[in-house]
Structure 1
Amino acid sequence: MRLPGRFTHSAALAEVRSRGEGFAWVGLHAPDEDQMNSVAKVFGLHELMVEDAVHAHQRPKLEIYDDVLFLVLRTVNYVEHESITTANEIVETGEIMIFVGADFVVTVRHGEHSGLAGVRADMDAHPQRLALGPTAVLHAVADHVVDSYLAVTESVERDVDLMEEDVFSPRSQVAIEQIYLFKREIVELRKSVNPLASPLQRLGQDAGIGVPKEVRRYLRDVHDHHTIVAERIAEFDEVLSTLVEAALAKVAVQENTDMRKISAWVAIAAVPTMVAGIYGMNFEQMPELQWSFGYPAVLCVIATICIGLFVTFRRNNWL
């Protein structure tokens, strides 16, 4: 259970080591270089770890420095929006880095949605899990992050279903640019999620990295959930690729329809243009020039031909 009172990171580690049991858990949010160096000095963290923790923007990975595990996880958050046609962002990303030693855990967060207060409260409510040691915290954080992946993919799935429905509706006007936006967001989601598969697999199966057998069992369950998420993201990618092709096909069909309409009207307009062009020639000897009914007769012929063309084009769905 958590000890009462407030401790600095050095005091917390000293207390744990004086007792000879338990571990210290230090949480940092977007630390600067001085803060991170101070923590690293107390817990003996490698300088490369410090550099990664300060500058962030790391791919999910697992590294071992001496007896310290270093796990990087990318967090994702679904951005609420009124409509799929007006959304500018679907997911936002953050980062959590976990340093696990024999008697300490240091978590470094980047991003506003990567809070771990709920994880701490859940761990406090289950002292038997805390008794498994610092790697139990690593599992709890990884489980929390992967569960958030599941929640995000469920929300994204609803958006993709709505977009699919709109694209295949007869009179839909879904812009291809919006499908490309979703495609880009899915790419970002995939880059945040998929690289975590290898670290989770290693944590769940490799007995030589210091993770207790009981915790490895829990981590294998997290890996299974992660696999489900990765499969969903792959499905989203395939569906969006299909939607891009369908949208392009609809554009091509619409362009073909427009061209047929334009061609039909041009053909109709060509009749009076041709007749007027012929009778616009300045020859003295032309048929019907001296006939009193010549002008209305020509207009009737033009109107008859134009109406005939209009009916023909309308019957063939060109107009």
Structure 2
Amino acid sequence: MARMIVHCAAYQDGRRIGASEDLTDALTTARRAGPGAFVWMGLFEPTTEELDRVGKEFALHPLAVEDAVSAHQRPKVEAYQGSLFVALKTLGHHPETHAVTSGEVMVFLGPDFVMTVRHGTDSPLSGLRARLEQEPELLRYGPSSVLHSVCDTVVDGYVEVAAALQVDLDELEADVFAPGRVHRDAAGRIYGCKRQVMTVRRAASPLLEPMLRLERGAPFVRPETAPYLRDVADHLARVNDQVDGMDRLLSDILGANLAQVSVQQNNDMRKISAWAALAAVPTMIAGVYGMNFDVMPELHEPWGYPAALSLMAVVCMVLHRVFKRHDWL
């Protein structure tokens, strides 16, 4: 079991009172310490058997354990007898590929324990325990303070990813609408950016209702943490507004780019038609005089050949000026 345990420690009044890789030892330490003591355990991608053993120690509901093992859960809050289950999605942005990847964090909350279960490498929780141990005035609220810190850290990750996507979007917009350039391949880039925005939306949008539910009050969540959870919900609402704005802007950019391409194609077709008309005039005249008839006007005149060439040149010049004046060339 130690392989999956990232860290396990007991706390009381905001101070660490013991640490152990053995869950039973940590629980014993916390329960001997008296009221207010709790165990904080962090797990990384446990197997079904491993999480079942932990679930028996904490008396976790089998359905919650199953959700924590299988992952791929929609952000949610579910109350069970003896525990509260919270599922969140984590996000990471990779500047070198402009890709947004996701992971998951599940939080089990009880009267004297809190347990986090992480899936995926994009986890913002590294260093969270150390930071929270530096704030004993917050940690003294027990498992509720850990739940708030996890939610706050995850949502802060959304804020960072949204900011990075905004930079990518600004660069894409400037490139697509650069003067004198029409990007026929921009639709693929816009669609790729839209997919990254959708990844953020799938993580952030469904989480707002659970966060509001936690802020209004939930089992094992102390009322003292409500202002902190309300602040997290406010940040999450701003992220959702930002994501909605980026999605609308991407749709507008895509529509504008398709219009640009369509206009450019029309311009290309007009130019092709104009050049075809210029080529058609001498072809027509040459075709008429190339017919094998003996009796034709000016056919036997010495000036007939230069007259035909001059006619071709004059007509082509007139057509060229007309097309140029109407911006067809």
What's the TM-score, normalizing by structure 2? 0.91
1:61 aligns to 2:76 (yes or no): yes
- For residues 129-144 of structure 1, the aligned pairs below 5 Å read 129-144=138-153
Paired with 1:74 and 1:5, the residues of 2 have a C-alpha distance of 28
- For residues 77-88 of structure 1, the aligned pairs below 5 Å read 77-81=92-96, 87=97
Which residue identity is paired with 2:191?
Answer: Y
Matched with 1:164 is 173
Matched with 1:11 is 25
Cα shift at 1:298: 0.9
SS in 2 for 1:78: strand
SS in 1 for 2:21: coil
Which residue identity is paired with 1:305?
Answer: V
Which of the numbers 215, 239, 243 marks the counterpart of 1:233?
243
1:94 aligns to 2:103 (yes or no): yes
Paired with 2:89 and 2:19, the residues of 1 have a C-alpha distance of 32
More divergent stretch after superposition (294-303 vs 3-12): 3-12
1:298 aligns to 2:329 (yes or no): no
Change (3 A) 1:172 1:95: farther
Which residue identity is paired with 1:40?
Answer: G
Structure 1 outlier segments of 4+, above 4 Å = none
Cα shift at 1:64: 0.6
Asked if the contact 1:13–1:24 (Cα under 8 Å) also holds between the matched residues in 2, the reply is: yes
What's the TM-score, normalizing by structure 1? 0.93
SS in 1 for 2:310: helix
Paired with 2:219 and 2:167, the residues of 1 have a C-alpha distance of 40
Matched with 1:108 is 117
Asked if the contact 2:92–2:101 (Cα under 8 Å) also holds between the matched residues in 1, the reply is: yes
Which residue identity is paired with 1:111?
Answer: G
Cα shift at 1:14: 2.1
Unmatched 5+ stretches in structure 1: 82-86
Matched with 1:84 is none
Which residue identity is paired with 1:97?
Answer: M
Cα shift at 1:4: 4.3
Paired with 1:298 and 1:182, the residues of 2 have a C-alpha distance of 60
Which residue identity is paired with 2:47?
Answer: D
Change (3 A) 1:28 1:173: farther
Paired with 2:19 and 2:43, the residues of 1 have a C-alpha distance of 18
Which residue identity is paired with 1:127?
Answer: P
SS in 2 for 1:117: coil
Paired with 1:65 and 1:210, the residues of 2 have a C-alpha distance of 11
1:285 aligns to 2:295 (yes or no): yes
Asked if the contact 1:146–1:226 (Cα under 8 Å) also holds between the matched residues in 2, the reply is: yes
1:188 aligns to 2:192 (yes or no): no
Cα shift at 1:147: 0.9
- CA deviation map 1:183-210 (0-9, x unaligned): 122112111111000110010012x523
Which residue identity is paired with 2:86?
Answer: L
Matched with 1:307 is 317
1:42 aligns to 2:57 (yes or no): yes
SS in 2 for 1:232: helix
Change (3 A) 1:5 1:215: closer
Identity, % of aligned positions: 46
Which residue identity is paired with 1:247?
Answer: N
Which structure has greater strand proportion? 2
Cα shift at 1:296: 2.0
Paired with 1:74 and 1:140, the residues of 2 have a C-alpha distance of 15
RMSD: 1.5
- CA deviation map 1:141-161 (0-9, x unaligned): 000011111111111111112
Unmatched 5+ stretches in structure 2: 1-14
Change (3 A) 1:251 1:183: same
Paired with 2:181 and 2:192, the residues of 1 have a C-alpha distance of 18
